[in-house]
Structure 1
Amino acid sequence: MDYSDILYDVRDRTATITVNRPHRLNAATRRTYYEMTDAIRRAGWDRDIGVIVLTGAGTRAFGIGGDKDEKKADRVDNGIGVLGNGVEELQTAIRDVPKPVIAKVRGYAVGSGNVLVTLCDLAIAAENAEFGQVGPKMGSVDPGFGTAFLARTVGEKRAREIWYLCRRYKAHEALAMGLVNAVVPDDKLDEEVDSWCREINERSPTAIAIAKRSFNADSENIRGIGQLAFSALALYFGTDEAKEGGNALREKRKPDFVGSMYRGR
């Protein structure tokens, strides 16, 4: 695949995949998701690569979720996966490749950006990083790993708070709840991630691959639950209620989700 939305770089047995859409705060389109999936699989099955780093271009955002210029209903097509927008395939790739995937986070990691941080094996954040969910504010949700696996990561009460209230959390708050492994000054982030990658690359890749499979086995049931729930989400995206969040954003008004439920009835 020829990449237009991401950058792919390999150095010292580490593959770095960078979402290169800083003008959109690294918001993802369907193409972005598919390119990230392709790159992760490419790196994940390359014997000369020991670790994968996932990050966003610029200093303002790791990723803020789906690009709002793509309407949710338009993201549902007859492509691979239930939603057809590449989210499920990307999540599967991160889980299935036998290499650790590290999230290197600067700026905002919200929406599906926050889900990616949750799914990555490790996460290292700059002090300017900010985390949170926006789904219920926009008429969306991640009903698989983004919810159930988040609860395993930060605990049930905190995970429900993150999704129900859609608040923002600073880097050190994310560290305290277990969402990230380390927080460093903004100008030290690259150096810190490089250090972690060097340590991993000194370890047995087969032992690490087996360890990752073992960790994943304990939560693999979430994949099945997610596939069922994404089927419901595909139907939900076609409703006025789901469209209300994006419409309100584009029209610069407060969304009326309750009122939208009764339109056309």
Structure 2
Amino acid sequence: MPVSNYKDITYEVGANAVRITINRPEVFNAFRTQTVEELIDAFKRADEEKSVNAVIFGGAGDKAFCTGGDQKVHMSEDGLYGPRGLVGLPIEELQSAIRDCRKVVIARVQGFAIGGGNVFCTICDLTIASEKAQFGQVGPKVGSVDPGFGTAYLARLVGEKKAREIWFLCRRYKADEALAMGLINKVVPHDQLDAECETWAAEINALSPTAIAIAKRSFNADSENIRGLSYLGIAAVKGYYQSDESKEGVKAFNEKRKPDFKKFV
């Protein structure tokens, strides 16, 4: 896929990092099938880029890094996003592409990192956030869940109790709270975010790319079983997305009302 053909993202090779940016600020950088397909291609392209050792992964605009799946296109005629992947979009392939990329992937979070956006921050190697950033999950509010890296791997980062709190209460956490729980690496003033990301990328770019790749694969090996859990879990989520209970969450979100899940239990 030529870079010029990207519709939902931008791709740029800089002095110290590849910059991959979700370019859908009008929907707070929520992703649809097109977005996920382009991101998979971009991370595979970045994996082969020899001039830099890092990827800076961000979202366009000033309000959001990413707010997860685009609920307005979530339900197609068959009850799913589209024709690809276990749940209609290949989210499991994107998560693997981020983890398998030999570069150090830095999440640049300037605003909301909610739902699938929070999962991206969990999966990325490093996360640098503006003081204006907010993190959290909304899956159980909208009839969705990430049954792999977004849950099991999250618990490795922030601890079992905190991970369960994040998913079972669906609260939002400010950047300093996310730093304290171990979800992110650093918080900086909003106007210093890009400079800080570039500084980290420059430090990484001065190092041995092979040593970095080996280190990353070693870190990943310790949690590789979660990839298997993710594929099994997403297979279960496929059936859940086809249920009336899950559809109620999406409908309520789009109709801007409180969902009534209990009537389907």
1:251 and 2:251 are equivalent in the alignment: no
Deviation at 1:76, TM superposition (A): 5.2
Q: Which amino acid aligns with 1:22?
A: P
Deviation at 1:50, TM superposition (A): 1.3
CA displacement, residues 62-87 of structure 1 (integer Å, 9 cap, x when unaligned): 0101111112422153x2x3223021
| Per-residue deviation, residues 25-68 of structure 1 (Å, max 9, x unmatched) | 00101110111111011011222231101000011000101111
The 3 A distance-change label for structure 1 pair 26 and 59 is same
- Would the aligned equivalents of 2:118 and 2:136 in 1 still touch at CA under 8 Å? yes
Q: What secondary structure does 2:80 align onto? A: helix
Stretches of structure 2 lacking an aligned partner (at least 5 in a row):
none
The 8 Å contact of residues 15 and 51 in structure 1, kept in 2 or not, is answered as yes
Q: Given the alignment of the two structures, is residue 83 of structure 1 paired with residue 91 of structure 2, yes or no?
A: no
1:218 to 193, 215, 222: 222
What corresponds to 2:120 in structure 1? Answer: 116
SS at match of 2:204: helix
- Within 5 A, what are the aligned runs for 1:150-229? 150-229=154-233
Deviations 1:116-143 (A, max 9, x none): 0000000000000000000000000000
CA distance in 1 between counterparts of 2:52 and 2:23 reads 22
CA distance in 2, matches of 1:181, 1:247: 36
Find the counterpart in structure 1 of residue 26 from structure 2. Answer: 23
Q: Deviations over 1:209-249 (max 9, x none)?
A: 00000000000000001101111100110000000111112
Equivalent residue, structure 2, for 1:146: 150
Match in the other structure for 1:55: 58
Contact between 1:76 and 1:234, CA under 8 Å: does it hold in 2? no
Determine helix, strand or coil for the equivalent of 2:231. helix
CA contact (8 A) 2:56 2:105 kept: yes
State the SS of the aligned residue for 1:74. Answer: coil
Superimposed CA distance per residue, residues 82-108 of structure 1 (whole angstroms, 9 cap, x where no aligned partner): 223021111000011111100000110
User: TM-score, normalised to structure 1's length?
Assistant: 0.96
Q: Which residue is 1:74 aligned to?
A: 80
CA-based RMSD of the aligned residues comes to 1.0
Q: TM-score, normalized by length of structure 2?
A: 0.96
Tell me the CA shift for residue 251 of structure 1: 2.2
Contact preservation (8 Å) 1:133, 1:163: yes
Q: Is the 8 A contact 2:158 2:181 kept in 1?
A: yes
Question: Within 5 Å, which residues of 2 pair with 1:95-114?
Answer: 95-114=99-118
Q: Which runs of 4+ in 1 moved over 2 A?
A: 71-74
In the alignment, structure 1 segments of 5+ residues that lack a partner are none
The CA distance in 2 between the partners of 1:147 and 1:76, in whole Å, is 24
The reply to whether residue 11 of structure 1 matches residue 14 of structure 2 is yes
Q: Distance in 2 between matches of 1:20 and 1:76?
A: 20
Q: By how many angstroms is 1:23 displaced?
A: 0.6
- Which AA in structure 2 matches 1:25? F
Aligned length: 259
